Amino acid sequence: MKRIALSLVVLLAVGLLAVSAVENVAVINGYPPITVDPAVASDWYDTEAMYNLYSPLVYPSPEGGVRPHLATSWEAVGGDLTHWRFTLREGVKFHSGYEMTAEDVAFSMTRFIAMGQGNSGPLGQVTATAIDKYTVDFKLDKPSALFPDTLVLFFPLEKNLILQNIAAGTYGEFGDYGGEWLQTHDAGAGPYVMTNNIPGQRLDAARFVDYFEGWSNDGWGPDEVPIERLVFIMETDYTTLMTLLWSGDLDLEVNGGWQLPQLQVIQADPGFSLTGVWAQNVTVWMNTQVAPTDDEHFRKAILYAFDYKSILGPWEALGNGETGILLPNMPGYVPIEPQPREQDLARAAAELALSKYADNLSDVTAAFHFCGGLDFEEDIGLQLQADMAKLGVNVEVAGPPWGTYSAECSTAESTPNMTIFLFAPQAAPTHDYYTYSMFSPGGLGWIFAAHWYFEDQQIVDLLDATRAEADPVARLAIYEQLQPLIADHALAFYPYQKPTLFAHQSYIVGPSESIAMVGPSENMHKWRINLALKEDLRGD
């Protein structure tokens, strides 16, 4: 008897040891979101977690555009592009076990528009109705061929769960629409379930076994298994992160704030990997409504005066380079001036001589603002400053904090002469983001159009045509036509494109698809852990 008991105990101990020895956890350094409410989230950081906890109606496709996800098909009803009908996938389970129906989707859309924040902007006014259990109708206020594409940031939530957890609020019968409750709970249908959330500090999530896409091992190796637990942390000190990477406490880093020497170390070490995920278009807008950048020749001078090679220098090995109004790997990309992409001081001086400030160059000052704290943005400003100084033009560089900076860019008069932003198409995986949003008066405005130029009617008309054109091939032709027209006004210069680089342990494998134009690849459903490799590298 004693012997049986003893052996049972030993077995139990061994079992426990085996389970705990292989910890199937991924610790990810991104910013744990400030908010996990899909209707309120507006920041890139909020969206990172969103794709793990929730599922959108449609999903970005590696070839561009979108593909079915929670919705299986859709069509424009009635031919005027204001009425869209979506057919939903059957048998999709929310984290609570409840099945998703058109009621949930319609409710979520109504909520999304009613709360009217952040990501709902591009959608305009949408009315959603459930036609039957798996069909939803969306009626728009303006025709748009691209409506389905904008739904990548629309995440259905579970209607009943929300209604059960409403607190006092400003939305009439819906109170606060569950906003308070959603801070620490989740009502989604994504691959991971929130188990613990300290907003802005830490988010824990566990694998949702009944996730509708399933966890099949197709395309993965025999030792590669899904990640069981996620821990999102917030650590902004990259020296600490390096230590954590070395000790194995950090698995994946998605903010990409490494210094160049650190990146080189990571690249050289076989235990770590660098995965390029999507490119960000570094754009320096030039404000056309404020002197001296109100003069087209002055702007062109800046284009030619900037030393593209110098700023590229050490980053070249990591794959930065040419870019323009679109990103080079997008279909329909048309290269813009300056070609070749090098500094041409003579040409710049010639442009300056043609500008209306030619006679009093020493009196003009161009202000270059960047968001305080970002070194490489500051470097671009410093480089331009040094370059323009050679031509006798004074450029002022300043880095106000984000609050001031974004407020400055809200009107044409207050926007600085030059503002720098990175545009990563996480909002919508289409050309629309880089064209309509930025160059049409109906676009997003603010920092998306910090050039404040809408006077070329031809461009405005062509942009409208892209939205009304249902045939993607014809639409692409319009985009190709648009780029040289826009480039001719010299509304921006593009120093380089900066790939988003994820640094991670080599035993964290993925992502299984790399969507060149758009995030988010921190959808951890697309990653696996190679347990055998982990044992080799970590030996525990």
- Using CB under 8 A as the binding rule, the residues of this chain from 43 to 62 that contact another protein are 43-44
Report the nearest approach of another protein to the CB of residue 17 (Å): 19
Which region, judged by CB under 8 A, interacts with another protein, from 78-86, 120-128, 209-217, 472-480?
120-128
Contact present, 387 and 306 (Cβ < 8 Å): yes
Tokens 């896409």 belong to residue: 213
Alpha carbons 218 and 33: distance in angstroms, whole number? 31
> Measured between alpha carbons, how far is residue 385 from residues 378, 381, 425 in Å?
10, 6, 29
In the chain, the amino acid numbered 99 is E
Out of 90, 375, 455, 461, the residue judged to bind another protein by CB under 8 A: 375
Out of 72, 129, 201, 217, the residue judged to bind another protein by CB under 8 A: 201
Q: Is 104 helix (H, G, I), strand (E, B) or coil?
A: helix
Count of residues that interact with another protein, criterion CB under 8 A:
68
Out of 100, 233, 418, 492, the residue judged to bind another protein by CB under 8 A: 233
Out of 110, 404, 481, 512, the residue judged to bind another protein by CB under 8 A: 404
Out of 24, 42, 87, 481, the residue judged to bind another protein by CB under 8 A: 42
- The residue (of 82 and 404) whose beta carbon lies closer to another protein is 404
Query: Positive or negative CA dihedral for 64, 69, 73, 74?
Result: negative
Out of 406, 481, 506, 512, the residue judged to bind another protein by CB under 8 A: 406
361 binds another protein (CB under 8 A): no
Alpha carbons 434 and 458: distance in angstroms, whole number? 17
Q: Is 509 helix (H, G, I), strand (E, B) or coil?
A: strand
Report the nearest approach of another protein to the CB of residue 436 (Å): 13
Report the nearest approach of another protein to the CB of residue 25 (Å): 9
379 binds another protein (CB under 8 A): yes
- The residue (of 108 and 119) whose beta carbon lies closer to another protein is 119
- Using CB under 8 A as the binding rule, the residues of this chain from 477 to 536 that contact another protein are none
122 binds another protein (CB under 8 A): yes
386 binds another protein (CB under 8 A): yes
Report the nearest approach of another protein to the CB of residue 32 (Å): 12
Out of 373, 392, 441, 484, the residue judged to bind another protein by CB under 8 A: 373
- The residue (of 345 and 478) whose beta carbon lies closer to another protein is 345
Structural Rg of the chain based on CA atoms: 25
What percent helix, strand, coil does the chain show, rounded to 5? 35, 20, 45
- The residue (of 296 and 387) whose beta carbon lies closer to another protein is 387
> Measured between alpha carbons, how far is residue 459 from residues 294, 435, 438, 451 in Å?
19, 10, 12, 14
Lookup: tokens for 213: 């896409």
Nearest to 298 by CA among 366, 363, 346: 366
Out of 65, 68, 121, 321, the residue judged to bind another protein by CB under 8 A: 121
- The residue (of 47 and 101) whose beta carbon lies closer to another protein is 47
385 binds another protein (CB under 8 A): yes
- Annotate 160-176 with three-state secondary structure: HHHHHCCCCCCCHHHCC
> Measured between alpha carbons, how far is residue 479 from residues 66, 97, 279, 326, 331 in Å?
18, 44, 20, 10, 10
Cβ partners under 8 Å of residue 346, min gap 6: none
Q: Is 536 helix (H, G, I), strand (E, B) or coil?
A: helix
401 binds another protein (CB under 8 A): yes
Alpha carbons 86 and 134: distance in angstroms, whole number? 8
Q: Is 419 helix (H, G, I), strand (E, B) or coil?
A: strand
Which region, judged by CB under 8 A, interacts with another protein, from 185-193, 211-219, 378-386, 511-519?
378-386
Which region, judged by CB under 8 A, interacts with another protein, from 78-86, 99-107, 236-244, 272-280?
236-244
Tokens 């780029």 belong to residue: 483
407 binds another protein (CB under 8 A): yes
Site mask for another protein (CB under 8 A), range 241-280, x = bound: --xx----xx--------x-x-------------------
- The residue (of 141 and 536) whose beta carbon lies closer to another protein is 141
Cβ partners under 8 Å of residue 458, min gap 6: 485
User: Which phi and psi angles does 424 have, rounded to 5°?
Assistant: -110, 130
143 binds another protein (CB under 8 A): no
Alpha carbons 286 and 299: distance in angstroms, whole number? 7
Interface contacts to another protein, rule CB under 8 A: 27, 34-35, 40, 42-44, 116-122, 183, 199-201, 233, 235-240, 243-244, 249-250, 259, 261, 310-311, 313-314, 372-373, 375, 378-379, 381-383, 385-386, 388-389, 395-404, 406-408, 410, 414, 427, 444-448
